[in-house]
Chains A and B, each alone.
Chain A
Amino acid sequence: MNTRSLSFRLVAWYAGLLTIVFVALGGLTLILLRHYLESALLDTQVRRARQIADTLMAAVARTGEAAVPGEIEDLYSPEANDRFIRIARADGTVIYVSGKPRDGSFEPAAVPAAPASRDPILVRKENLRTGSLLIGAVTYPAGDSSRYRVEVGVSTERTDQTVQQVLLLLAIALPIAVCVAVSGGFVLVRRALKPVDALSAKAAQITQLNPSERLPVSRTGDELERLSVALNQMITRLEEAIQSSKRFVADASHELRTPLTVLRGELEELAQDAQLREHTRESLGSMLEEVDRLSEVVESLLALSKLDAGEANAEWVRFDLAELVASTAGQISLLAEDKAIAVVCEAPQPVPVEGDRARMKQVVVNLLDNAIKYTPRGGRVLLRITRDGAQAVLEVVDNGVGIPAEALPHMFKRFFRVDNSRSRDQGGAGLGLSIVKSICAAHGAQVDVTSIPGEGSCFRVRQPLARGTSADVIADS
């Protein structure tokens, strides 16, 4: 699962917050429950203490203190009821204390004496080694100046058990509740975000080639509808921009090509006149060469604009890049032989790709021509076509002059020249590599260059293999 997806993050936050809220609520419930149970118990202890005091202490005057233990045992049998009862004089002298309870939950002798207080009713919780004891104490004036204190207590074991049961219940119920809430939330979030997947899938399909397509708009009146409407408006603006760029290309084509045709025609007509003087003939030739160069620049720029505008490639076919490179190298070989440059083509296996064959051929021609141009006599140019995973890799390696490191990042920029004086002699307007890059971009391919000055350069084109080729790679290797 993609942990960065919006639905995952929403649900994770939701689950986290829900857990925190549930735990806090559960904790609060437990604390309140314990408090409520204990105060209820304390109230009972106080009531009982008062009862004992009322019925017994009133009789002390008649029967004497010695009769008290017997009376209490008879009336209340505290050991059997797991109760704690202690009666003491005001000075702290204990006249009765109950025995060890049947369940052994506390040791009556170990219960500390009640703290000195003038309050007639006092409640407290004693934490003993064996457990806690809730004690209610009543101070009772016995006719004369002496006073007695009656303490009645009970172990918290029962309340603790109750609280633990509730805790157990919560511990089971809470994760289930969180799970149910989270899965419900997940379903809701998925349903709410489903249109987003549809939007992004459609948006990924819209390129310069089909700018008239639009995203689906869900008529739900929610944020997603607003988003898709806004995106569609943006695509409309982009489409207009592409249209106007295409129109510009068409207009510029006409405006530049027509005068060039006239210029070339007039000059050609003159140049072929046999009566010309040598000097005039040379001048006309020179002008024609400039017209050629200008035409070439115009054609290259228009080709680049068209590639930028994403003009549909009508001839999209599947072909073998290795075969294309080998045959192109064959056609261009004389150019290399002329400079005694050895062109070696390494293509161990077919490398099927998809694209406009003529344009990819231009990539090969431009790269190869460049390599030959900048490699001195007797040099070597290596063409290597391999597969790397799902990609076709074409490398054009030469052992020529190389490219200075500071020029490398600019190699594919329009009109860029490494060295003005030298490359102008070699012809070309500095657009060849830009065209290579634009063609590659139109094919989803990347082109890059590495070079060591004085040792040579390597231009590398990475293009996705034709669909359904990956299986062959495994078979081949």
Chain B
Amino acid sequence: MRILIVEDEKKLCELIERALKAERYAVDAAPDGSAGWGLAESYDYDLIILDLMLPGLSGTELLRRIRRRNHQVPILILTAKDATEEKVQNFEAGADDYLTKPFAFAELLIRVKALLRRGSVSRASVLRVGDLEVDRLSQHVKRAGKRIELTPKEYALLEYLAANPGRVFSRTMIIEHVWDQSFEGLTNIVDVYVRHLRGKIDDPFPTKLIRTVRGVGYGLGENPDA
């Protein structure tokens, strides 16, 4: 899998490159619009990550050019603006996904994965992490064969964590996915729910599945890279 990053912020570019390489992707980086266009023209990429504010050729213009040439390649937009209008415009111009800075890298990696397998992989109906089973159809949760009753919000939280085992999610990401944007800034609600969830799926068992990484957030199961 080959990914192109067009991002003028050098440090951010390097960071994304490093994060993607750690996930075993081949990565090319371009520091401005024209260089990005040069690379996009010459190679077939599986995914393009595009910053909107670029020197030279603007991100929006580059997006249009790439779309004219290649209708298939998924494009993920990075932006520091979050005006809804602009978002709609860019989706119309052919963007597949949209990430607003500052974003968590875990979020970026999840979006990248989702875009790369879009349409090809069906979502597994049962998620397994260790001896924990989350059935997405019936919304039943079992650990070591024992049925565990969860409230709808607890279930939503657990399913979100279990869908990406080992990955650590920030409280903001969890809020956005399990609640909605109105709850942003109310990150302590995540702590309370995680504590309740722990009480149900971890406390009765010897091995603990929910992991806290201070300052980063929560994850389910061991980090696969560690």
Contact = CB atoms under 8 A, between A and B. Distances in A.
Contacts of B12: 258, 261-262, 265
A403 B15 CA distance: 46
Contact of B15 (A266, A281, A328): A266
A299 B193 contact: no
B25 to A, nearest CB: 16
Interface string A278-321: 00011011111101100110011000000000011011000000
Contact of B213 (A265, A285, A286): A285
A361 B182 contact: yes
B153 A271 contact: no
Given A253-B81, A258-B80, A265-B19, A286 B184 contact: no
B185 A432 contact: yes
A331 B153 contact: yes
**Max chain B C-beta neighbours (<10 A), residue from A254, A261, A295:** A261
A328 B18 CA distance: 40
Q: Which of B179, B180, B182, B183 has the most CB of A within 10 A?
A: B182
B84 A250 contact: no
B189 A332 contact: yes
B85 A314 contact: yes
A334 B85 contact: no
Given A265-B105, A272-B213, A284-B215, A358 B18 contact: no
Interface in B167-206: 168, 170-172, 179-189, 192-193, 196
A362 interface: yes
Contacts of A427: 187-188
Contacts of B101: 254, 257-258, 260-261
Q: What is the interface residue range for chain A against chain B?
A: 35 or more
B86 to A, nearest CB: 10
Contacts of B188: 335, 427
A253 B223 CA distance: 33
B181 to A, nearest CB: 6
B192 A288 contact: no
B81 A362 contact: no
A358 B180 CA distance: 9
A285 B215 contact: yes
Contact of B216 (A272, A312, A331, A334): A272
B184 A268 contact: no
Contacts of B9: 258, 262
Max chain A C-beta neighbours (<10 A), residue from B181, B196, B215? B215
Contacts of B103: 261
Contacts of A287: 215
Contact of B189 (A261, A291, A335): A335
A289 B215 contact: yes
A265 B15 contact: yes
B105 A269 contact: yes
Nearest to B219: A272
A268 B180 contact: no
Contacts of B183: 331-332, 365
Contacts of A292: 170-172, 187, 215
A254 B81 contact: yes
Contacts of B214: 271, 281-282, 284-286, 288-289
A295 to B, nearest CB: 5
Interface string B1-38: 00000000101100110110000000000000000000
A355 to B, nearest CB: 13
A1 interface: no
Contacts of B168: 268, 272
B19 A264 contact: no
Nearest to B167: A272
Contact of A269 (B18, B215, B226): B18
A295 B179 contact: no
B82 interface: yes
Contacts of A282: 214
B102 interface: yes
Nearest to A432: B185
Interface in A407-443: 427-428, 432
Contacts of B184: 299
A358 B84 CA distance: 13
Contacts of A358: 180-182
B40 to A, nearest CB: 22
A364 to B, nearest CB: 8
A264 B15 CA distance: 10
B137 interface: no
Interface in A333-354: 334-335, 338
Contacts of A204: none
B126 interface: no
Contact of B179 (A258, A331, A359): A331
11 contacts: A250-B81, A253-B82, A257-B80, A258-B80, A272-B216, A282-B214, A292-B171, A334-B192, A335-B186, A359-B182, A427-B188
Closest 5 CB pairs of A and B: A288-B215, A285-B214, A285-B215, A254-B80, A257-B101
Interface of A: 250, 253-254, 257-258, 260-262, 264-269, 271-272, 274, 281-282, 284-289, 291-292, 295-296, 299-300, 311-312, 314-315, 328, 331-332, 334-335, 338, 358-359, 361-362, 364-366, 369, 427-428, 432
Given A261-B103, A264-B105, A358-B182, 20 more contacts: A254-B80, A254-B81, A258-B101, A262-B9, A262-B15, A264-B104, A267-B215, A268-B105, A268-B216, A284-B214, A285-B216, A292-B172, A292-B187, A292-B215, A312-B85, A314-B85, A364-B182, A369-B186, A427-B187, A428-B185
